[in-house]
Amino acid sequence: MSFPWANEYKPSHPFMQWMDDRLPLPRLVFNSVGAGYPVPRNLNYFWNFGFLAALCLIVQIVTGIVMAMHYAANTAVAFDTIEMTVRDVNWGWMMRYAHANGASMFFIVIYVHIFRGFYYGSYKAPREMVWLLGVVIFLLMMATAFMGYVLPWGQMSFWGAKVITGLFGAIPFVGEPLQQWLLGGFAPDNAALNRFFSLHYLLPFVILGVVILHIWALHIPGSSNPTGVEVKAESDTVPFYPYYVAKDGWFIGVFAIVFSLMLFYFPNSLGHPDNYIPANPMSTPAHIVPEWYFWPFYAILRAFTQDFFFIPAKLMGVLAMFGAILVWFFLPWLDKSPVRSGSYRPLYKKFFWFGLIPAMAVLFYCGGAAAAEPYVMISQLAALYYFAHFLIVLPIVSAIEKPLPLPYSITESVLGTDEAAQLAPSGSV
User: Is 11 or 169 the residue whose CB approaches other proteins more closely?
Assistant: 169
**Given candidates 83, 189, 274, 401, which one binds other proteins under the rule CB under 8 A?**
189
278 scored as a contact of other proteins (CB under 8 A): no
Residue 13 annotated as part of some ligand binding site = no
Active site residue 248: yes
Total residues contacting other proteins by CB under 8 A comes to 34
Residue range at the interface with other proteins (CB under 8 A); choices 40-48, 214-222, 244-252, 301-309? 301-309
Question: What is the smallest separation between the CB atom of 380 and other proteins, expressed in angstroms?
Answer: 12
Question: What is the smallest separation between the CB atom of 190 and other proteins, expressed in angstroms?
Answer: 9
Q: Are 70 and 81 in contact (CB under 8 A)?
A: yes
| Residues sharing a CB contact under 8 Å with residue 96, sequence separation 6 or more, in sequence order | 67, 82, 85, 86
124 burial type by CB count under 10 A (0-12 exposed, 13-18 middle, 19+ buried): buried
Question: What is the smallest separation between the CB atom of 209 and other proteins, expressed in angstroms?
Answer: 20
Residue numbers 194-223 binding other proteins by CB under 8 A: 195
In this structure, the dihedral spanned by the alpha carbons of residues 124, 129, 131 and 134, taken in order and rounded to 10 degrees, is -170
CA 382 – CA 279 distance, rounded (Å): 33
283 scored as a contact of other proteins (CB under 8 A): yes
Residue 389 annotated as part of some ligand binding site = no
Residue range at the interface with other proteins (CB under 8 A); choices 106-114, 236-244, 297-305, 348-356? 297-305
Q: Are 313 and 167 in contact (CB under 8 A)?
A: no
User: Is 1 or 282 the residue whose CB approaches other proteins more closely?
Assistant: 282
Of 365, 391, 397, nearest to 379 (Cα)?
A: 365
417 scored as a contact of other proteins (CB under 8 A): no
**Given candidates 41, 96, 162, 345, which one binds other proteins under the rule CB under 8 A?**
162
| Residues sharing a CB contact under 8 Å with residue 68, sequence separation 6 or more, in sequence order | 201
**Given candidates 372, 399, 400, 420, which one binds other proteins under the rule CB under 8 A?**
372
Sign of CA dihedral 343, 346, 351, 354: positive
364 scored as a contact of other proteins (CB under 8 A): no
Active site residue 274: no
Contacts 24+ apart (CB under 8 A), 409-415: 409/229, 409/232, 409/233, 409/235, 409/236, 410/40, 410/41, 410/42, 410/225, 410/227, 410/229, 410/231, 410/232, 410/236, 410/237, 411/41, 411/233, 411/235, 411/236, 413/42, 413/227, 413/229, 414/41, 414/42
Residue 272 annotated as part of some ligand binding site = no
Q: Are 170 and 318 in contact (CB under 8 A)?
A: yes
User: Is 15 or 173 the residue whose CB approaches other proteins more closely?
Assistant: 173
Alpha helices (H) along 304-390: 313-326, 331-334, 346-351, 357-368, 375-388
Catalytic choice (247, 335, 343, 398) = 247
Catalytic choice (104, 122, 157, 223) = 223
Active site residue 426: no
Active site residue 230: no
Question: What is the smallest separation between the CB atom of 162 and other proteins, expressed in angstroms?
Answer: 5
Binding residues: 99, 113, 200, 214, 219
Which residues contact other proteins (rule: CB under 8 A)? 159, 162-163, 166-167, 169, 180-187, 189, 191, 195, 281-284, 286-288, 302, 304-305, 307, 312-314, 317, 371-372
Give the residue numbers annotated as catalytic, written as ranges. Answer: 219, 223, 247-248, 291
